[in-house]
């Protein structure tokens, strides 16, 4: 047997026509039920209309991205690019290699076309022989008609994409979301180079490159998500509700986390279980940081033990099937009761968070939230004598000359939240930090204080204590709603939460 034959047999390829006919025959008709994600379609259509209006006469290309190899012949679970998810309503697992194209019409509007890899027929080799895409291996996908019915747009086979994209190059402006699919972007750059975009100028009269024009599209699609529609807000409520279930489960599992050892891994697993069960999974790698690990801001290794006297900082969020994610942090006394030093730090962070939350209202600036919270942090650090001699609160808050407090809280207090945990990341400073809060925005308020175990500037009793409290706020017409309010926040409420979970009465 040649090596090629051996390989073919090993992978179960057909040996003859009889086998092909046998494997293709006698299957029940497929279900015609629409997936639950179809509910997003009318909202996605409105977003495409906004993109269409912003770029009349231009072809807009928004790739979902492709499968990514984890190792050898194993891929990561697929997650579409957020811009693609937003403009199609397609969420978890859908659809690898798909490309949304907004094709310009004469009247300035666009036809939405989804190029994707439709389900292959049962009479094809892909059906049973393709371990990356075949139905036998990874399950069924929709067909062209299914997608047209689900999303109310035109669907074409991915093999027609090259022809569709190359049409009228030179007379049609073409923009692509570059990080959606780097190979497709490179192919499009080769076609566009010299044919389109060159010589065009922006509002300031500067010559724009192809890349500048692509970046404009990505920026538009990112900032479009600053204000959430009603469907997005409902998705966020679901994500946050599921996240609360995960936190409850972690608290209930703390005794086992201690008993089994390697407790941070246990906590990560418990939260992950509930994230997967309630939603699509975690929206970002959970930070399960016990003791001094809490002072490493993005501690996602989660390799540590948990000891009874520790604080456990859990920063975690469930991503629902539509890919919207929560982002909540609670800092929990593992014993059920804060020590005096832990409570002192916790209550300071809580006061800072309250100040930050009070600043969340329409018309306020996004940066007001941080300014309010960090002032309270600075006041506590000053009162505790931690700022250098002669440095008062105003001095440290002076961004040019101070910033001493940043030794103990180096991160910002807030970020937008939605399809990405750090949503709308392409917004410019004036559209983000410098912008006015508007009803429908969803953002976090998450101050912290971090006293590293090896920080010789702080009293010994504070060393190794790290606290962050994080909630997800919806800006309303007259203030804000704390979407994660169901999760206790004050030090005494957190103690009661833990006590109730253990069937104990809270200590007085």
Q: Least distance in Å: CB of 26 to ligand GLY?
A: 51
What is the smallest separation between the CB atom of 312 and ligand GLY, expressed in angstroms? 15
Closer to ligand GLY by Cβ: residue 213 or 416 = 416
Kindly list the distances between the CA atom of residue 506 and the CA atoms of 172, 434, 492, 502, in Å, as whole numbers in the listed order.
68, 43, 9, 10
CB of 5 to ligand GLY, least distance (A): 52
Inter-residue contact 494 to 504 (CB < 8 Å): no
Place of tokens 């190029």: 115
CB 196 within 8 A of CB 167: no
The DSSP call for residue 130 is -
The reply to whether 423 sits near Mn ion by the rule CB under 5 A is no
d(CA 508, CA 492): 9
77: tokens are 């679970």
- Answer yes or no whether residue 413 interacts with Mn ion by CB under 5 A: no
Question: In this structure, what token pair is assigned to residue 147?
Answer: 């997608």
Among 146, 327, 420, 423, binds Mn ion (CB under 5 A): 327
Q: Which is nearer to ligand GLY, 196 or 325 (CB)?
A: 325
State how far the Cα of 237 lies from the Cα of 387, in Å rounded to an integer. Answer: 40
Contact 85, 99 (CB under 8 A): no
- Taking the complex as a whole, how short is the minimal distance between the CB of residue 410 and ligand GLY, in angstroms? 12
Residue labelled with tokens 């703390």? 254
Using the minimum distance from each CB to ligand GLY, give the nearer residue, 119 or 487.
487
Choices 122-130, 145-153, 326-334, 401-409; region in contact with Mn ion by CB under 5 A = 326-334
How far from each other are the two terminal CA atoms of the chain, in whole angstroms? 79
Question: What residues pair up with 63 in beta bridges, in sequence order?
Answer: 99
Task: Quote the least distance from Cβ 285 to ligand GLY, whole Å.
Answer: 9
Instruction: Match 């500048």 to its residue by tokens.
Output: 212
Q: Does 150 bind Mn ion (CB under 5 A)?
A: no
| Residue nearer to ligand GLY on the CB measure, 315 or 319 | 315
Per partner kind, with CB cut-offs from 5 to 8 A, the member of ligand GLY, Mn ion, none near residue 88 is none
Q: Residue 319 binds which one of Mn ion, ligand GLY, none, with CB within 5 to 8 A depending on kind?
A: none
Smallest separation (angstroms) from ligand GLY to the CB of 412: 9
For position 243 contacting Mn ion by CB under 5 A, the verdict is no
DSSP 313: E
Least distance to Mn ion, CB of residue 317, Å: 8
Task: Report the residue number, 268 or 327, with the smaller CB distance to ligand GLY.
Answer: 327
Q: Give the closest residue to 13 by CA, choosing from 2, 4, 117.
A: 4
- Polymer length of the chain: 508
x/- contact string, 438-457, with Mn ion (CB under 5 A)? ------x-------------
Q: Which does 135 bind (CB under 5 to 8 A by kind): Mn ion, ligand GLY, none?
A: none
Which residue number has the CB closest to Mn ion?
327
Stretch of 45-53, 156-164, 276-284, 319-327 lying at the interface with Mn ion (CB under 5 A): 319-327
Bridge partners (DSSP) of residue 59 are 174
Interacting residues toward ligand GLY by CB under 6 A: 315, 327, 421
Residue 353 tokens, joined: 């968070």
Q: For residue 272, count other CB atoms closer than 10 A to its CB.
A: 18
Smallest distance from the beta carbon of 468 to ligand GLY, in angstroms? 9
CA distance 142 to 179: 25
Residue ranges binding Mn ion (CB under 5 A): 327, 444
């Amino acid at each position: 047997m040649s090596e090629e034959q051996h390989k073919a047999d090993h992978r179960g390829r057909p040996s003859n026509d009889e086998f092909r006919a046998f494997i293709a025959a006698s299957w029940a008709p497929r279900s015609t039920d629409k997936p639950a994600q179809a509910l997003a379609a009318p909202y996605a259509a409105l977003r495409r209309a906004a993109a269409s209006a912003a770029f009349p006469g231009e072809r807009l290309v928004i790739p979902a991205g492709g499968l990514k190899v984890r190792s050898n012949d194993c891929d990561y679970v697929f997650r579409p690019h957020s811009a693609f998810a937003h403009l199609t309503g397609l969420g978890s697992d859908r659809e690898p290699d798909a490309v949304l194209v907004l094709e310009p019409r004469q009247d300035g509007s666009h036809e939405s076309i989804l190029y994707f890899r439709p389900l292959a027929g049962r009479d094809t080799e892909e059906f049973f022989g393709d371990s990356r895409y075949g139905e036998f291996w990874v399950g069924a996908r929709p067909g062209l008609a299914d997608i047209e019915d689900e999303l109310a747009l035109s669907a074409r086979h991915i093999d027609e994409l090259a022809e569709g994209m190359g049409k009228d190059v030179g007379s049609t402006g073409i923009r692509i979301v570059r990080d959606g699919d780097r190979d497709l972007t490179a192919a499009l750059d080769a076609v566009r180079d010299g044919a389109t975009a060159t010589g065009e100028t922006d509002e300031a009269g500067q010559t724009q490159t192809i890349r500048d024009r692509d970046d404009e599209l990505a920026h538009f699609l990112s900032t479009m998500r600053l204000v959430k529609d009603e469907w997005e807000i409902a998705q966020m409520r679901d994500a946050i509700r599921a996240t609360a279930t995960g936190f409850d489960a972690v608290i209930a599992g703390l005794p086992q986390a201690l008993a089994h050892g390697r407790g941070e891994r246990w906590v990560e697993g418990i939260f992950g279980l509930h994230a997967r069960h309630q939603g699509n999974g975690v929206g970002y790698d959970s930070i399960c940081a016990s003791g001094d690990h809490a002072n490493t801001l993005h501690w996602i290794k989660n390799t540590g033990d948990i000891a009874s006297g520790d604080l456990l900082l859990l920063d975690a969020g469930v991503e629902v099937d539509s890919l919207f994610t929560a982002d909540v942090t609670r800092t929990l006394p593992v014993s059920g009761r804060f020590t005096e030093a832990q409570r002192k730090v916790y209550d300071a962070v809580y006061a800072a968070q309250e100040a930050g939350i009070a600043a969340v209202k329409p018309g306020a600036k996004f940066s007001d939230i941080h300014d309010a919270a960090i002032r309270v942090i600075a006041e506590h650090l000053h009162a505790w004598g931690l700022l250098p001699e002669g440095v008062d609160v105003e001095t440290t808050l002076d961004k040019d000359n101070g910033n001493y407090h940043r030794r103990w809280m180096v991160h910002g207090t807030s970020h937008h939240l939605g399809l990405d945990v750090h949503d709308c990341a392409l917004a410019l400073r004036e559209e983000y930090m410098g912008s006015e809060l508007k009803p429908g925005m969803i953002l976090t308020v998450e101050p912290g204080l971090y006293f590293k175990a090896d920080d010789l500037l702080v009293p010994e009793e504070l060393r190794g204590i790290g606290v962050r409290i994080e909630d997800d706020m919806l800006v309303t017409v007259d203030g804000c709603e704390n979407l994660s309010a169901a999760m206790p926040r004050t030090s005494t409420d957190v103690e009661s939460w833990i006590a109730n979970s253990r069937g104990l009465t809270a200590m007085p």
